[in-house]
Structure 1
Amino acid sequence: MTNLIKVGGAELNQTPLDWTNNFQNILEAINTAKENKVSILCLPELCLTGYGCEDAFYAPNTEQQALKLLGQLLPHTKDLVVSVGLPLRHQNKLYNTVALIADQEILGFVAKKHLAGNGIHYEPRWFTPWKDGESGTITFDDHFTSVLGTNSFPFGDLLFDVKGVRIGFEICEDAWVANRPGRSLYANGVDIILNPSASHFAFDKLDVRKRFVLEGSRAYGVGYIYANLLGNESGRAIYDGGVMIALSGKLLSISKRFAFYNYKVTTATFDLDVARLAQIQSHTSNTGTASHTVVNSSFEIPRTVPEKHIPVEESWEHSVNIKEEEFGRAVALGLFDYMRKSFSKGFVVSLSGGADSSAIVTLIHLMIKMGIEDLGIDGFKKKLSYFSTLKECDTDEALCELILTTAYQPTENSGDVTLNAAESLAKAVGATFYNVNVNPMFKGYVNAIENALGRSLGWDTDDITLQNIQARVRAPSVWMLANINGALLLSTSNRSEAAVGYATMDGDTSGGLSPIAGIDKNYLRSWLRWMETNGLDNKWNIPALKFVNEQQPTAELRPKDSKQTDEADLMPYDILEEIEKLAIRDKKSPKECQLFLSANHPEASQETINAWITKFFRLWSRNQWKRERYAPSFHLDDKNLDPKTWCRFPILSGGFNQELGEL
């Protein structure tokens, strides 16, 4: 008898606590797997509840709803082995678990051993890590007996023997640690390792995943299936999918990442004899490894017949691993899911003609292009069915006109250059464009305060005040447009501004979502130049961006003869990014930053370097309160400044006064 088994991994676009959506996606993935003659299917981590449930994991209802859905899935798993993730309470502790189902029967629940507690992950807040080598029995109330078939199941560190085929688990973070469970599974003769994951997107992360999938399959001589979530699940984290299937160190399949689908199943065929031969030929010592409780099943996993080998096509993945591609695709997908899951009827952007707002408009342009490419125009509109006015649109430009509303909001200090840049970009992508003159409101506020104070306001005495009020008077009108449309107002602030507080609260920070607050200004400028000429996949470029790219970034809030620029107000953006990386990501002191900058910039005087560092640390410390008030932003890399998920800092502090005095 052949030892060929067709396997699959599914990526799912889930939503926390959205039971109907989550169940439907799982069910359709299972049905698709069956149609493709798959015998073993791996689903992502916590796929029944959603991964980002936060403190709702504490609620007993969350577990109970997941168990009900698990029971409802059982009849649909005939002739199939499938893993399903859900949270479970055991002996008054909560665990991140995976149920293995074989032919409509739950064989047991494996509990995650290594919890993700760094970066944006807070699993130790809710879950307890399971100990190596330990197992027991979980017993449910009688209420669940009719739902699950019985009320008692094996639980813990389990290895499943499904009539001679041994299946084990590494649940997401389990595979990222040095003492990964695969080592002990290998010692116990595992054939296939399933890795249900909820691995958020970050730049260059695909290469890390590939290494542990390939190395795990090679070192342990196994078939390895990695499944991941897809899309913007709960607001900040974007999941890129990217199912990978490998056998004995060879990548058999990899799925397209950043897709707009609700689900997708990727398949491959394992030759278990090849994997077992690798283990026979291995002379690695098996001593000192944890044992696993073996759960036996009499289900005969269906075998398959040899199929024509189709080489893995990784050319698309190579191109999308370029940072510019990853950024565009990740944020575009994040915007689409945020819009539809919040039932927003499009977006409103205060389009100044500068880099930040232009980047957001470009990303929405990509969102529409990518969505139509994946789903077709009818499928794109179907996923936005609540947005009924899209029904008659038959082109991407027509969609953009309804989805994206932009407003250029000049004062007396604005110029024709930025107006032309804003209007040209809006026209190029097909967005609705308004020119809303806010100068009367600006003058009205100034006059009102002058009358109250009994004096005139002037640029020599009231510079920041006069700048800020211009930024703030722009917010009410764009909020009005958002309310009129039932749309989501997008904040246009970037990470460089967040680091030093170079943003006006209730001005350019206004909005329900801040899509570029996780990326620095220096990179945004280079990305816009790339989008002007290249575009994603060498298509979808926007030549009209040249009007944006030709400018020096400026807030345009001082009189025109002042020739205001952002870098004159702050420092060169590349220097700002460098200090931010040293001081915040790498936790260097002002003195250490000075040493690095002196080495990297010998052309700059010590006085200049000290001035840059002093300005950065003082502004950073002074403006934590602003970062606390930013609208939710997308996580993109390890330089994130979001205090709610990544980078915490006291609102009140000593401001590095002593350290700066040592420069």
Structure 2
Amino acid sequence: MNLIKVAAGVVNQTPLAWESNKQNIIGCIEEAKNQDISILCLPELCITGYGCEDMFYANGTCETAIDMLEDIVDHTAGIMVAVGLPIRINNRVYNAACLIANKQIRGFACKKTLANNGIHYETRWFQPWPENERTELAIGEFSYPVGDLVFEADGIKIGFEICEDAWIANRPGRALYLQGVDIILNPTASHFAFFKTQTRERLVQDGSRAFGVAYIYANLLGNEAGRAIFDGDAMIAQAGEMLVSGTRFSYKDFYLTPAVIDIEKLRLEQTQNRLTFSSSNKKVSFLFDFPAIKPVRNIYALEHWEAKGFQKEEEMARAIALALFDYLRKSKSSGWVISLSGGADSSAITALCFLAIELGVAELGIDGFKQKLSHIKKIQDCTSVAELSKALITNIYQGTENSSDDTRYSASSLAESLNTTYYDININGLVETYKGLIQEAIGRQLAWETDDLALQNIQARVRAPSAWLLANINNALLLATSNRSEAAVGYATMDGDTAGSISPIAGIDKHFLRHWLRWLENTGLDGQLKVAGLHAMNNLQPTAELRPLASKQVDEEDLMPYDLLNAIETAAFRDKKSPKDCLILMELEFDNIYSKDKLVQSIERFFRLWSRNQWKRERYAPSFHVDDRNLDPRSWLRFPILSGGFEKELAEMHDYVNNVKTRSRRRRIGF
């Protein structure tokens, strides 16, 4: 048997949704059988869902997973299938992949390396499996091998690297190579992040080349549990050649990525391979080459997105649109409500909701789209994307005396172009009512000279009840409109623009968001799917419009330029640089763009605002995770609510600046 047809199977699962998860798996297996697939790899923990959190502690989770597994086994006649689930042995829980062949469980390979950084917390629930250890698991009348296993069928050897196993230097594939394995299966639950697919491609392709194997990689799909997005990456490589890479960001429940592998070619590759191992004290050599290290410019702010062929823009559009769609259907909600101010944030979210409809209908067809949202009765008679948009997306513009005609037109023109349900109400009377109540209580008039922040915030907060009311009336999701740059410095009103059940762009910085909106208007997905209704908004300067119009309020004047804010945040909290080191980096980054005084002022302002606003980040609605700059303290970046506020570190920055000025002055006068 030289040629074997194999496949990576991608499924869109939900934690603890037992029946739908099982049906997706069975559907994928049946489709594989229809396509004469011999070996099918399904994702990590796909029976339970990856994001079960502390429910992995519950005995019932592992027990029910085994029950589901036994049901799945009945559908594996004539095919070999790897399926992921948690198993409990000696009161310890392990992340396992079960290999089933022709309606018989062959054993359970267990994950050796647990992901425990950023969004991942696997060591909280699972134990890493020790190398070379094996035991048995009893299921009913039979016991099955468990642990560090290599399987053999018709002379073909199969081994596993489970997700994080492949991301470490001493990956299990090395040991599998020494055992003459022909095929490595990688069932994975690897969360989406910008440009991450290229890293996965290298892991798969280089692993297949270094170990002389066929490598099958299958990822989860969709917004599984609320925060993480899975892109459904599926890849099959053979001896260093990428045979196939599957569709990403699909709206289907499951799909296959098949390929034909050549066992003789693989074994010839292993025979010729120069990969060598002995004891840990001796040199290990690899066949593949490492890329040369190149100098990097502009690593903190001036990102050249276009150089990557608009990949980041497309990934943002597809990832967040799919996440919004999945969140809508899995929460059994009936639509989205967005308080549309006419600014960048709410316009972006409205456009993303529209893209969720466009992309879903494009892939599933309008009937398939409506079937996926069968719980929403009001859309079942819709016959077009425009009608679906009217039924699913509700916008409300809430103006005050400080709102301009420009933002009103920006909001209405976008809503009209996307055919959303649009309301325009004036909340000035509500603002005045609240002001009057407090003025009477405290015995004085509120004025901009003395109460600036309070008068701004009451306008933002008054908008929330109306938006919540619409959401409740429609059984819809209220989407919070704050972005990551605002979260970093607390430039957001709690219970105002932060109000909502999910915060779709809280992981996106404002600098990139503005660029993305211009791209969506002028270039669009695949160069075709554009949103012309963004034109008016893209020609506005970002403003909160909470002060009197005569003040000409501008966000970047209230804070700092968004490109600079993003660069400082990245240096300070992704890379953990001190204020002084941030200044040195910003001087290199923004040479001839901003003055040194501007940089010092902005860095000090950033660190002070960051420190006093952690409580806001703790209260943000859950956000979608899109890269390693996430500020969500519940899944990525933790910081104390009360802290010293970087007083010492900021003083060191000012000392550094003063010393530089003193040295410069001495040079000028001849010391």
Superposed, which structure 2 residues align to 1:357-436 within 5 Å?
357-436=346-425
Please name the residue that 2:610 is paired with.
Answer: 620
Give percent identity, aligned residues only: 57
Q: Which one of the candidate residues 552, 556, 564 is aligned to 1:567? A: 556
| Cα distance, 1:227–1:641 mapped onto 2, change above 3 Å | same
Please name the residue that 1:176 is paired with.
Answer: 167
Letter in 2 for 1:487: A
d(CA) in 2 for partners of 1:657 and 1:288? 51
Q: Which one of the candidate residues 230, 246, 253 is aligned to 2:237? A: 246
Deviation string 1:438-489 (CA, Å, 9 cap, x unpaired) is 1110010011111111111000000000000000000000100000000000
CA contact (8 A) 2:97 2:109 kept: yes
d(CA) in 1 for partners of 2:309 and 2:585? 32
Task: Report SS of the residue matched to 1:638.
Answer: coil
d(CA) in 2 for partners of 1:174 and 1:269? 25
CA contact (8 A) 2:8 2:41 kept: yes
Superposed, which structure 2 residues align to 1:223-622 within 5 Å?
223-288=214-279, 322-603=311-592, 604-622=594-612
Task: Report SS of the residue matched to 1:364.
Answer: helix
Deviation string 1:259-317 (CA, Å, 9 cap, x unpaired) is 1000001111111000011011124324348xxxxxxxxxxxxxxxxxxxxxxxxxxxx
CA contact (8 A) 1:88 1:96 kept: yes
Which range is displaced more, 108-117 or 600-609?
A: 600-609
- Is 1:106 the counterpart of 2:105? The answer is yes
Letter in 1 for 2:526: D
Task: Report SS of the residue matched to 2:106.
Answer: strand
Task: Report SS of the residue matched to 2:546.
Answer: coil
Please name the residue that 2:631 is paired with.
Answer: 641
| Distance apart, 1:320 and its partner CA | 8.4
d(CA) in 1 for partners of 2:425 and 2:310? 40
Deviation string 1:187-241 (CA, Å, 9 cap, x unpaired) is 0000100000001100000100000100111111111100000000000000000
Runs of 5+ in structure 2 lacking a partner?
A: 281-306, 654-671
CA contact (8 A) 1:319 1:325 kept: no
Letter in 2 for 1:375: L
CA contact (8 A) 1:517 1:633 kept: yes
Tell me the C-alpha RMSD between the 2 structures. Answer: 1.3
| Distance apart, 1:321 and its partner CA | 7.1
Letter in 2 for 1:449: I
Please name the residue that 2:208 is paired with.
Answer: 217
Letter in 2 for 1:446: K
Task: Report SS of the residue matched to 2:215.
Answer: strand
Letter in 2 for 1:91: N
| Distance apart, 1:608 and its partner CA | 2.0
| Distance apart, 1:609 and its partner CA | 1.6
Please name the residue that 2:95 is paired with.
Answer: 96
| Distance apart, 1:328 and its partner CA | 0.3
d(CA) in 1 for partners of 2:511 and 2:474? 33
Letter in 1 for 2:601: A
CA contact (8 A) 2:13 2:221 kept: yes
CA contact (8 A) 1:320 1:326 kept: no
Task: Report SS of the residue matched to 1:538.
Answer: coil
Deviation string 1:575-610 (CA, Å, 9 cap, x unpaired) is 100100000100001111111112223333332221
Please name the residue that 1:28 is paired with.
Answer: 27
d(CA) in 2 for partners of 1:463 and 1:283? 71
- Is 1:201 the counterpart of 2:192? The answer is yes
| Distance apart, 1:319 and its partner CA | 8.8
- Is 1:18 the counterpart of 2:17? The answer is yes
Deviation string 1:512-557 (CA, Å, 9 cap, x unpaired) is 0000000000111000000111111112211221100111000000
d(CA) in 2 for partners of 1:514 and 1:285? 50
CA contact (8 A) 2:151 2:158 kept: yes
Letter in 1 for 2:207: G
CA contact (8 A) 2:208 2:239 kept: yes
d(CA) in 1 for partners of 2:565 and 2:15? 37
CA contact (8 A) 1:137 1:153 kept: yes
Task: Report SS of the residue matched to 2:449.
Answer: coil
Q: Which one of the candidate residues 630, 645, 662 is aligned to 2:620? A: 630
Which range is displaced more, 319-328 or 177-186?
A: 319-328
Letter in 1 for 2:163: C
d(CA) in 2 for partners of 1:242 and 1:653? 41
Please name the residue that 1:656 is paired with.
Answer: 646
d(CA) in 2 for partners of 1:42 and 1:368? 30
Letter in 2 for 1:612: S
CA contact (8 A) 1:174 1:181 kept: yes
d(CA) in 1 for partners of 2:272 and 2:516? 49
CA contact (8 A) 2:87 2:95 kept: yes
TM-score (norm 1): 0.93
d(CA) in 1 for partners of 2:3 and 2:148? 27
d(CA) in 2 for partners of 1:262 and 1:242? 14
Letter in 2 for 1:333: L
Please name the residue that 2:145 is paired with.
Answer: 154
Task: Report SS of the residue matched to 2:55.
Answer: helix
Please name the residue that 1:87 is paired with.
Answer: 86
Letter in 1 for 2:29: I
Letter in 2 for 1:180: R
Letter in 1 for 2:515: S
Letter in 2 for 1:112: K
Please name the residue that 2:283 is paired with.
Answer: none
TM-score (norm 2): 0.92
d(CA) in 1 for partners of 2:363 and 2:511? 31
Which range is displaced more, 535-544 or 507-516?
A: 535-544
Task: Report SS of the residue matched to 1:83.
Answer: strand
- Is 1:49 the counterpart of 2:39? The answer is no
Deviation string 1:372-407 (CA, Å, 9 cap, x unpaired) is 111000000000000011011000000000100000
CA contact (8 A) 1:206 1:321 kept: no
Letter in 2 for 1:221: G
Task: Report SS of the residue matched to 2:186.
Answer: strand
CA contact (8 A) 1:46 1:86 kept: yes
CA contact (8 A) 1:204 1:321 kept: no
d(CA) in 2 for partners of 1:543 and 1:103? 54
CA contact (8 A) 2:210 2:275 kept: no
Which range is displaced more, 241-250 or 498-507?
A: 241-250
Which range is displaced more, 398-407 or 73-82?
A: 73-82
Task: Report SS of the residue matched to 2:426.
Answer: coil
Task: Report SS of the residue matched to 1:130.
Answer: coil
Task: Report SS of the residue matched to 1:98.
Answer: strand
| Cα distance, 1:137–1:273 mapped onto 2, change above 3 Å | same
d(CA) in 2 for partners of 1:319 and 1:653? 40
Letter in 1 for 2:42: L
d(CA) in 2 for partners of 1:530 and 1:177? 37
d(CA) in 2 for partners of 1:161 and 1:262? 31
d(CA) in 1 for partners of 2:487 and 2:480? 12
Letter in 2 for 1:567: E
d(CA) in 1 for partners of 2:310 and 2:543? 32
d(CA) in 2 for partners of 1:202 and 1:286? 34
Please name the residue that 2:664 is paired with.
Answer: none
Deviation string 1:73-112 (CA, Å, 9 cap, x unpaired) is 1111111110011111112211000111111111111110
| Distance apart, 1:136 and its partner CA | 1.7
Task: Report SS of the residue matched to 1:158.
Answer: coil
